[in-house]
Amino acid sequence: MEIDSKNLEIQISKAKSGNQAAFRFLLDTFWAAVYNFQLKRTKNENESEDITIQTFSKAFDKIATFDEKYVFKTWLITISKNVHIDNLRKQNSSLSVKITKEQDERVHLIADENPTPEDTIIGEQNLAKLLRDIKQLKPKYQEVIQLRYFQELSYKEISEQLQEPISNVKVKLLRAKKLLAEIIKKS
């Protein structure tokens, strides 16, 4: 694909000033060249794609250092070559263990019980809403909920901290939970 050199200069200049459309133009224009260069070197589609992504990431981070007297495509290919060499060095320096395909498949059968990023976001949103609801309670109820459920103090510890009998703490906590439940139902 033939690229208009004047338009390319304009896009590089815009990219240097942080224009996202210019970055997208450069990525779309040169992706195939960098990817195909790496595909010839690595003979692995996934690795080529990873290196190409790393190449553009580094290039865009350092776009301000690009000197227009050089060819942009050559600059990208040089970065790509260096990324590939760095990756090879990392692979050679790290301890590698060969695993069989059967072992790899067995690993994928193990259930991941960690929360997904979506679960984490939902949990954070729910916590934020709960905290807003708690803020609607009177301060004495906010305090008892804070001590019991966020600081996880026992009734005895709460009693000592508030200097109130344990029975008062229990009643306050029951009342606070009831009021909080009503607030949650309304919203």
DSSP per-residue string spanning 114-129:
SPPHHHHHHHHHHHHH
Q: What's the whole-model pTM score?
A: 0.50
| Fold classification of 5-93 (topology level) | Rna Polymerase Sigma Factor; Chain: A (1.10.1740)
Pull the structure tokens for residue 20: 């996202």
Residues 74-113: pLDDT tens digits?
A: 999 999 999 999 988 888 776 556 667 776 666 666 666 6
Query: Which pLDDT belongs to residue 173?
Result: 84
Neighbours of 37 (CB within 10 A): 20
Per-residue pLDDT of 126-169, as tens digits, reads 778 888 888 999 998 899 989 998 888 998 999 999 998 888 88
The span from the CA of 92 to the CA of 83, in Å, is 14
Per DSSP, 64 falls in state G
At residue 39, the pLDDT reads 94
Interval 55-72: pLDDT, tens: 988 898 899 999 988 899
Query: Distance between alpha carbon 131 and the CA centroid of its chain, in Å?
Result: 24
43 phi/psi in degrees, rounded to 5: 55, 30
pLDDT in tens, 16-48: 998 988 988 998 899 999 999 999 999 998 899
Q: Give the pLDDT mean for 169-182.
A: 85
The C-alpha atoms of residue 173 and residue 183 are separated, in whole angstroms, by 15
DSSP string, 48-81: HHHHHHHHHHHHHHTGGG--TTS-HHHHHHHHHH
Q: Domain 117-186's class?
A: mainly alpha
Q: In the numeric block, which tokens belong to residue 88?
A: 């090879």
What are the boundaries of each domain within the chain? 5-93, 117-186
Looking at residue 38, its pLDDT comes to 93
Q: Which two tokens stand for residue 131?
A: 């905290």
Residue 165 makes CB contacts below 8 A (sequence gap 6+) with 159
CA-based diameter of the chain, in Å? 83
Q: How far is CA 71 from CA 8, 18, 22, 46, in A?
A: 10, 20, 17, 27
